[in-house]
Amino acid sequence: MSEKKTVIQEFVEFISRGNVIDLAVGVIIGGAFTAVVTALVTNIIQPLIAFLTGSVGGVGGLTLNLNGNIVDFSAFISAIINFLLTALAVFFIVKTINAFHKMKEKGLALAGIAKKAADSEAAAAAPHCPYCKQEIAVDATRCPHCTSKLTGYNNPAEHSA
């Protein structure tokens, strides 16, 4: 009879998986990175745009007053800039990580090619029996397949009889 897991045991299994921890780290770093980009847009890019357009306290001509309700298009544009800068940074991070993975795979592929080349060289260097053409050990004096005597064969027991 199988033991039924408690909710706490299942939660501990779930949370201790590598993928969940990686995701949590990604979300935390993403949040911190988004805060940096938001600060960049709010404190540097928006004031520069306001300076270039000659407005004070926002981007001139991009707000609409509807009976006391302000529709601020500059805030929307700032959000788009935030998104584009964040997406651009994530794109370059992922591109860099993918390049490292490709280099690693290429290195492993090159190691595999080198191993195959070394194996084929070793196979080419292995001697073959002149009679049955089977591969034999370098130090063999008889073929293990057809038992033929090979060059350099010397068995003192056969000569004494």
Digit-coded pLDDT (tens) for 23-77: 888 888 888 888 888 888 888 887 887 777 776 655 556 777 888 888 878 778 8
Residue 159 lies inside a defined structural domain of this protein: no
Most confidently modeled range among 14-23, 136-145, 149-158: 136-145
pLDDT digits (tens, 9 = 90+) for 88-104: 887 888 888 888 888 88
Confidence of residue 2 (pLDDT cuts 50, 70, 90): low
* Distant-in-sequence, close-in-space partners of 15: CB < 8 Å, separation ≥ 6: 21
Task: For residues 1 and 3, give the distance between their C-alpha atoms in angstroms, rounded to a whole number.
Answer: 7
22 vs 19: CA distance, rounded Å:
5
d(CA 132, CA 147): 10
| pLDDT value for 56 | 63
In a domain, 11, yes or no: yes
How far apart are the C-alpha atoms of 42 and 59, rounded to whole Å? 12
Which token pair is 30?
């993403």
Task: With a cut of 80, say whether residue 151 has pLDDT above it.
Answer: no
Give pLDDT tens digits for 101-134: 888 877 777 777 777 777 666 656 678 888 888 8
How far does CA 9 lie from the centroid of its chain?
31
Summarised one tens digit per residue, pLDDT across range 10-34 is 888 877 776 777 788 888 888 888 8
Quote the domain boundaries for residue 56: 7-126
Q: What is the CATH number of the domain that holds 94?
A: 1.10.1200.120
Q: CB atoms < 10 A from the CB of 83, how many?
A: 13
Spacing of C-alpha 58 from chain mean position: 43
What is the domain count for the chain? 1
Residue 69 lies in a domain: yes
Give strand pairing partners of 64: 71
